[in-house]
Amino acid sequence: MPKIETTIADKGWHFIIALSQTRSVKSEALYLSTPPSRQWCHIDTFFRRHRRLKWDTVRLQTSGNKRTRMDLRIRHTTGYLRSVGKVELVCSERRNRPDGRRKYLPCNDLRATPRQIVTGYRLRWSVEVFHKCVKQNIGFEDVATHGFDAVVSHVHWVYCAYILLHMAPPGLSPGAQSIGEKQRALQQGLAAREKRQILQKLTQIGGVQRYTEELRQALEIGLQCPVHRKGPFHQRRRRG
């Protein structure tokens, strides 16, 4: 993890991540008065020792359909993350769950407020939902290409499909909320349209004969395909 964080910092970017309880940190005072290899402590121990840091309450809007509020209480200070550098350190937990899991968040943007850090970390859930959605519903993982350019094209097409579904295509029921529901509704609509076209052909004068002829021609083309000629059916016929 330190390599990822230092790489992000070297690029001139900012990061907000969640630390495990065993990541080593140090206060500003200790960093300036002790050798670089000493006086580091685990971040959970660090916040237990610095009880003088007061708790502040932050109220955030949740991203669900109900739009409820979530109250957090946070403590924060400036310190040093081992092998990374100077960061803003935030200890966060649910206000109505004092025995729940605490989160320790560092951010290398020293101008960021604790509220911005917590809000930024909350936004990562939208990214997780996005990746879950494109994997489950739009075939993000179903790629059988070999070239890198083909993989890039596949990723772009999946992203375009997600954007179009997210924009609610015309004719889609407003009751469809998730991407999966929208996709199933579109598939049902397309299937119904094909059925309507078939029924329209069959109800025309001579429609049954024309549709039968189209099916016969399609079957002949399919049997003339090289893949079908090499199939087990033709092999059995040659053996007979």
Can you give the pTM of this predicted structure? 0.61
Q: Tell me what pLDDT residue 44 has.
A: 93
Give pLDDT tens digits for 160-195: 888 777 766 655 556 556 667 766 766 676 666 666
Residues in contact with 15: Cβ distance below 8 Å, sequence separation at least 6, in sequence order: 5, 8, 9, 106, 107, 108
pLDDT at 96 over 80: no
Q: How does the average pLDDT of the chain come out, rounded?
A: 80
- Whose tokens are 């050798």? That residue is 35
Cα gap 222→226, rounded to integer Å: 9
Give pLDDT tens digits for 207-236: 777 777 777 777 777 666 554 444 444 444
pLDDT at 65 over 60: no
Q: Are the C-beta atoms of residues 84 and 16 closer than 8 Å to each other?
A: no
Per-residue tokens: 231: 């199939």
3-state percent breakdown (helix, strand, coil) of the chain, nearest 5: 50, 20, 30
Can you tell me whether residue 188 is helix, strand or coil?
A: helix
Cα gap 86→25, rounded to integer Å: 10
